[in-house]
Amino acid sequence: MLPVAVLVATKRREVLLRERALLSVASQTIRPAIVVIVNDGPSLGRATKERARSASAPGTTVVLDNDRMPGAAGAWNAGLAYLAAHAHPGYVAMLDDDDEWDPDHLEVNARASLDVDADLSVSGLRIRLDGVDRPRPLIAELRATDFLSGNPGWQGSNTFAKLSLLLAVGGFRDGLASLNDRDLAVRLLRRPGVRTTLVPRWSATWHVGRIGGLSSPGSPAKLDGLAAFWRVYGRSMTAVEADRFFERALVLFHFDRRSIVGHNVALASHDEHRGSLHV
């Protein structure tokens, strides 16, 4: 079985990082080879670093500051660059600082990948809204086109992929304020010859609050992400996919077609096929 690296990006949520995300890493039935925490905010405290060390034993723990463009994409890419520089030979499992894994998350994805020699594995990511689990169907099939108009359930905290594949597509797209998961999914699934597998059960939990989060209706970061995503992928969408994209944006986030199309947003790369990581 190939070794698994855990990659956690964090910003100003030290208590949740320590008491939720890293606690779930420490509870895994198989130990990661390395835990890389990339800090996109203020310096982390001693208690969090102690928790990080216990989470990775008997492996190693690394705490980095984001030396790339500020934001989630830059933080993820800083971690991927570190793993590449240290020749990590296996998979990368990603986790947001406020989310958590079931104890066997790493094991079920690693074994599913081993069974079919997959480059990436996607297990179920349950939604917990203000502490209450919400019904959500498991992904039945991985198709790049499904991520153009929406997200059937593959996000940061259930991303499990070979480092070599993540590097081949250029990692994440620096400057993309939101929709990083969908952008990465499209590029990974469009990669020629990519081998995928699905784990037909829940193994991770996405914690969502009603207000104040990135996905809250009216979030400026969400508008930036939607506008940037449209600039990159709009031309490759069919009319039906575009209608679904704008309808979802209006229903979930209260942004209509005109506000998205007319919104000016800076983006590091407009290449549909690559992210921003070059190592």
Domain that holds residue 8: 4-208
pTM: 0.92
Residue 203 located in a structural domain: yes
d(C-alpha 170, C-alpha 276), whole Å: 5
- Domains identified in the chain, total number: 1
- CATH code where residue 18 lies: 3.90.550.10
Residues 6+ apart with CB under 8 A from 121: 109, 110, 112, 113, 160, 161, 196, 197, 198, 199
For tokens 């060390």, name the residue. Answer: 53
Residue 86 located in a structural domain: yes
Q: Per-residue pLDDT for the chain (279 aa), expressed as one digit of tens each?
A: 799 999 999 999 999 999 999 999 999 999 999 999 999 988 888 888 888 887 776 678 999 999 999 999 999 999 999 999 999 999 999 999 999 999 999 999 999 999 999 999 999 999 998 889 988 899 999 999 999 999 999 999 999 999 999 999 999 998 888 899 999 999 999 999 999 999 999 999 999 875 445 556 678 989 999 999 999 999 999 999 999 999 999 999 999 999 999 998 776 555 677 888 876
d(C-alpha 77, C-alpha 74), whole Å: 5
Residue 259 located in a structural domain: no
